[in-house]
Amino acid sequence: MKVYPVILLLLVLALLFPQTSSSQTIAFYDFTVKDIDGDSFSFSQLRGKKVMIVNVASKCGHTPQYEQLEEIYEKYKEQGFVLIAFPANNFMHQEPGTNEEIKEFCSVNYGVTFPVMSKISVKGEDMHKVYQWLTSKELNGIRDSSVKWNFQKYLISEDGKLVNVIKPKIKPNDPTIINWIEN
């Protein structure tokens, strides 16, 4: 019995169909998204900064959180903190506007200066890749979560690791968030 052809066949199969690890961790800094004006926004520019990502909506009971989001962004942006908002219409159609309407709403009503991205989906079959990463332990390497409602907050460390998920009802100036930013 010749073993060589079997070994050769196994080697060829191993080369053609390599094993992949079960972990498919993707780096936070690998993402590039579109901002509210349709321009590219690379997360690689966020290296070394603490980042809070928030899904936002203009017709939600939590919409007044925009004011506190702007306050903490203004207070901490010079200390390496970035806040990124992703408008989404996933919860009771509370963000029906176009990107242009959302931009105007944020500016006129809350004086928003933090980066606002183009409107996306934060759950379901059309969930944006950033939110797939935020909610999947297989991708982020830390934990699974689900987006419960508008204004859920994701905290990302200076080295691009998911640190915490903050419930929508918890306000942006909550001590949990402020302590994380300051320490």
Provide the H-helix boundaries in 37-110: 65-76, 99-110
Question: How many whole angstroms separate alpha carbon 164 and alpha carbon 181?
Answer: 12
Using alpha carbons only, how large is the chain's radius of gyration in Å? 20
Instruction: Return the half-sphere exposure (C-beta side, CA atoms, 13 A cut-off) of residue 124.
Output: 9
Cβ atoms < 10 Å from Cβ of 181: 17
Using DSSP, how many helices (H) and how many strands (E) does the chain show?
A: 6, 6
pTM of the model: 0.86
Is 91 within 8 Å of 63 (Cβ atoms)? no
Six token digits for residue 125: 């079959």
Question: How many whole angstroms separate alpha carbon 156 and alpha carbon 158?
Answer: 7
Determine the 3-state secondary structure of 42 from DSSP.
Answer: strand
Q: Out of 3.40.50.620, 3.40.30.10, 3.20.20.70, 3.40.640.10, select the CATH number for domain 23-182.
A: 3.40.30.10
pLDDT in tens for each of the 183 residues of the chain?
555 665 655 555 555 555 444 446 689 999 999 999 999 999 999 999 999 999 999 999 999 999 999 999 999 999 999 999 999 999 999 999 999 999 999 999 999 999 999 999 999 999 999 999 999 999 999 999 999 999 999 999 999 999 999 999 999 999 999 999 999
The yes-or-no answer on residue 106 being catalytic is no
Six token digits for residue 29: 């800094």
The one catalytic residue in 60, 82, 85, 106 is 60
State the pLDDT at residue 24. Answer: 60
State the pLDDT at residue 20. Answer: 44
87 membership: H or E segment, kind and range: strand 81-87
